[in-house]
Amino acid sequence: MNNSEQTIDQEMPASAPAAEQSNQSCPFPNGDTVTPLLEQLDAANKAAIEVYIKRALARQEEGLPISPLALAHDGLKLDVDVGKQVMNNILFSDRPAINQGDDNNTLITLPEPSEQPTEKFEQLMRRRTSVRDYTDEAVSLAEISSLCASTVSARDRFKTTSSQVIPHAPLAPTGGGLLSIQLYYISLNTESLSRGIYKYRADKHALELVSEGEVRGRIFEITSFQDWIARCAGIFVLVSDLDRVQWKYEDRAYRLTHMDAGVLGQSLHLAATSIDLGSCMVFGFLDDEMNQLMSIDGDRQFVSLIMPIGKPIPDYSSL
């Protein structure tokens, strides 16, 4: 027996029960670190924990690994019973009304989008790159109008039930045609537009004022002091809205919102490239602070992606 083994034997006798050994550092007498914490939850929150416990037990029974990520993924799977419920929601349930905005707030009508330049898709894809260096030149309202129109503008209206109408079918593909993403624009240096935060109203092709004022310094902090973001002309913010899709897709709604964000982000990226604006997708930001800045709850609505835009500096650095 070597010295290290002797030391271990002295600290923990071999006769000590395994359970006792494993609970030496546990702050609770019975070794249960979970129950006291669960007792602090109210009934509604306990129900959420029970869902994960059932998933963990099911995975254990099947001999599958258990981890927080695995348990979360289990909630995204669609079994036969859930599939039937989803179809029932589609056929017989009225979806919750989509809050388009408040007409009592200041609305800035966007100019009619100009005709887009003709460019082959392959050429556009090859030109697209992530731009992080911008001039101090302002972007125009016409350019903002073009970007909004090319991604989430109102194209059509159609019914899902006798009493519910989808307000628009966006140009970008979206799960169920429901568009789980609400587009916002933060104006930092935009011609004929005050600095502040705006919500894009596809039903009116207008910007609705959310809050007015300079937010460049706050954005600088929220994005972990990435100075290039503070130098851009404006920032598009993609906000996921679970209520738009959860009535239909239930547990899959969360995954769907991120898929929609990726598709819409790519469309916005290409649209910016087509009119010679620089842009870059960014997900490196402080979530809670960003949600607070956008005046959303961070639960049913949350920021998934932001995209700074601006006039690119020639020979800019990119990835």
Q: 265: burial class by Cβ within 10 Å (0-12, 13-18, 19+)?
A: buried
Task: Please state the domain extents for the chain.
Answer: 3-92, 107-310
Give pLDDT tens digits for 228-256. 998 999 999 999 998 888 877 877 888 89
Residue 264's pLDDT is what?
93
Residue 4's pLDDT is what?
43
DSSP 170: -
What whole-number distance in Å separates Cα of residue 44 and Cα of residue 50? 10
* Model pTM score: 0.74
What whole-number distance in Å separates Cα of residue 242 and Cα of residue 255? 10
Could you say which residues of the chain have pLDDT below 50?
A: 1-28, 319
What whole-number distance in Å separates Cα of residue 78 and Cα of residue 15? 49
Please give the CATH topology (third level) of the domain spanning 107-310: NADH Oxidase (3.40.109)
Please provide the DSSP assignment of 237-300 as one string. Answer: EEEEETHHHHHHHGGGHHHHHHHHHHHHHHHHHHHHHHTT-EE--B--S-HHHHHHHTT--SSS
Residue 315's pLDDT is what?
67
Residue 139's pLDDT is what?
96
Residues 6+ apart with CB under 8 A from 118: none
Residue 8's pLDDT is what?
39
Stated as kind and residue range, the H or E segment containing 216 is helix 216-222
What whole-number distance in Å separates Cα of residue 280 and Cα of residue 262? 13
Nearest Cα neighbor of 187 from 240, 132, 127, 147 is: 147
